[in-house]
Amino acid sequence: MIPQASRVRPRNPRGRMAANGTSRKVTSVDVARLAGVNQSTVSRTFSGDANVRPATRERVLAAAATLGYTPNAIARSLITRRTNIVGMVTASTTSPFQPYVLEKFTLRLRETGRQVLIFSAALHQEVDDILPTALQYQVDALIITSVTLSSARIDTCVRAGTPVILFNRYMPGERIGAICCDNRAGAAQVADFLLDAGHVRPAYMAGPRNSSTNRDREMGFAERLQARGVAVIAEDGHQYTYEAGYEAARRLFARPDPPDAIFCASDILALGTLDCAREHGIAVPDALSVVGFDDIPMARWSAYSLTTIRQPVGTMIDATIGLLDRLDATEEAPTVTLFPGTLVARGSARRPPNTPG
């Protein structure tokens, strides 16, 4: 049912040396013997238990150093029922935003003593295999970023007792914790920025239709435009990739009524759009303004100088870790927290009069 590797290494012989010449792993029993204490004292020493006399502690540590002992985190996990491993489920990283977030996460998580088991979802079908595997490995929690899971699937986790936190995503109506940028408010900000700068034919270049990120950005943008009496030109990018942005821009430029501003659902789409504009000889920002969302590192590259909404990634990650910390403590209801993005005005979009910078 659940697939697994069937190769199993033959049990090690009892002796100090295995047949193949590699030494058997040193255990706390070995250390105890050398230090002349009980195995439980070795355990206490390494688990930071205060109930060890300093002198004993030194003796144990010395013996451990001599033997090259490392505690077995797997064995510890079995009994503490806590692996200190967090599973991160990420989409295939077509967009550079993913690896950027992933790296910051692993760093911060390690600072808090947690390890990261990574599950990248190759294509959509693969997500099905991921959850069972993550559960098998007894991750303390699952952070799901940029992947949309069915509620049924999330239910499986919850029933298995594995907390799930959505990052950069949320599921309205579900009782599942989420940390997200306020995509709607950010998009509204872009609408105001563009309109204030005098644009009259703004377009929205969509990302994947089924992503909440795209949905909220589109909604925030369109609503604000509508409130100010301006219609939106919509064009599908379909995916968050450079190529998709390039192609969607080409279609927009081919219209009889091309836009004078394009708000792209994500930075990577905007980069493709800017390159397409460059190839078509469309002057940016004089003839066309382009705005993205995320503020990936490339946004500031001089070939692009992309005006965009910066997601407060560091803050969002800290909030996620805060959620993780509170997981064992309380039994509080899962919360959805939205963090505001900041508009970073660079060179790819005309600025409203009186804009600083």
Which residue has tokens 């100088």? 305
**Before 172, cis peptide (omega within 30)?**
no
**Residue 39 near which of a second copy, DNA, none (CB within 5-8 Å, type-dependent):** DNA
- Closest to a second copy by CB, 83 vs 183, is 83
Cβ neighbour number for residue 256 with a 10 Å cutoff: 4
**Residue 38 near which of DNA, a second copy, none (CB within 5-8 Å, type-dependent):** DNA
| 93 burial type by CB count under 10 A (0-12 exposed, 13-18 middle, 19+ buried) | middle
Footprint of DNA on 57-116 (CB under 7 A): 57, 69-72, 75-76, 78-81
- Closest to a second copy by CB, 230 vs 327, is 327
Would strands 342-344 and 307-310 be described as parallel, antiparallel, or unpaired? antiparallel
Give the CA radius of gyration of the chain: 26
Considering only 1, 50, 283, 333, the residue that binds DNA (CB under 7 A) is 50
H or E segment and range at residue 136:
helix 127-136
One-letter amino acid of 353: P
Considering only 19, 53, 256, 281, the residue that binds DNA (CB under 7 A) is 53
Considering only 22, 51, 125, 330, the residue that binds DNA (CB under 7 A) is 51
Q: Which residues sit opposite 7 in a β-bridge?
A: none
H or E segment and range at residue 220:
helix 212-227
The residue range among 46-54, 115-123, 189-197, 289-297 that interacts with DNA, by the rule CB under 7 A, is: 46-54
Cβ neighbour number for residue 146 with a 10 Å cutoff: 24
> Measured over all CA atoms, what is the biggest interatomic distance in the chain, rounded to whole angstroms?
87
Footprint of DNA on 320-339 (CB under 7 A): none
* Nearest distance, CB of residue 83 and a second copy, angstroms: 6
In the numeric block, which tokens belong to residue 166?
């959505």
Total binding residues for DNA by CB under 7 A?
37
- Closest to DNA by CB, 72 vs 150, is 72
- Closest to DNA by CB, 81 vs 125, is 81
Chain residues that interact with DNA, rule: CB under 7 A? 8, 10-11, 14, 24-25, 27-29, 36-41, 43-44, 46-47, 49-53, 55-57, 69-72, 75-76, 78-81
